[in-house]
Amino acid sequence: MTNSKKADLKKRALAAVRDYGVNLTLFRNAVSEWAGINASDMEALRLLFLKGVATPSELARHTGLTSGATTAMLDRLEKAELIERRPNPNDRRGFLIAPAKESAEKAASWFESARRAQDELISSYSESELEIISDVFERFAKLWDDEREKIQKDL
């Protein structure tokens, strides 16, 4: 492979990664709007589905919201029956936030079409191609996590 072809392929790959990130953000924003919640609310839900439970402070750090805005967000999500507040066994004054029982099913329905489309797309690749795709996404996930940690270390 010539150096110019490799350079062109690197540019194409990095442009594809950029476009993937932009389009995923636009898709998530559209789902949030369609579901009637804002992007910060959706980010908090995403973290809760990933972790299972979080403190209000963790959600504030994750979403970039102030403590007052986080309280308002939690009130909205609780009113929509998407989260529940539980007593914090490690802090009698505090509480933990967890997804409400039905919220996972409700949120899953918002992404049903996208999940089917993803399955159809990913099923079109061979095992060896899937190994490369998995490797690339795992490495990019690690790269972004490392870069985030560098930034947060300097705060």
Q: Which helix (H) or strand (E) holds 125?
A: none
| pLDDT single digits (tens) 18-31 | 999 999 999 988 98
Domains of the chain: 18-100 (1.10.10.10)
pLDDT in tens, 60-111: 998 889 999 999 999 999 998 999 999 999 888 889 999 998 888 888 888 8
C-alpha 105: how far from chain center: 17
Measured distance CA(96)–CA(87) in Å, rounded: 6
CA-based nearest residue to 136, from 14, 19, 11, 24: 14
Q: Convert 78-89 to b/e letters by CB count within 10 Å (16 or more is b).
A: eebebbeeeeee
Number of helices (H) and strands (E) in the chain: give both, helices first. Answer: 7, 2
| Six-digit token string for 113 | 């079409």
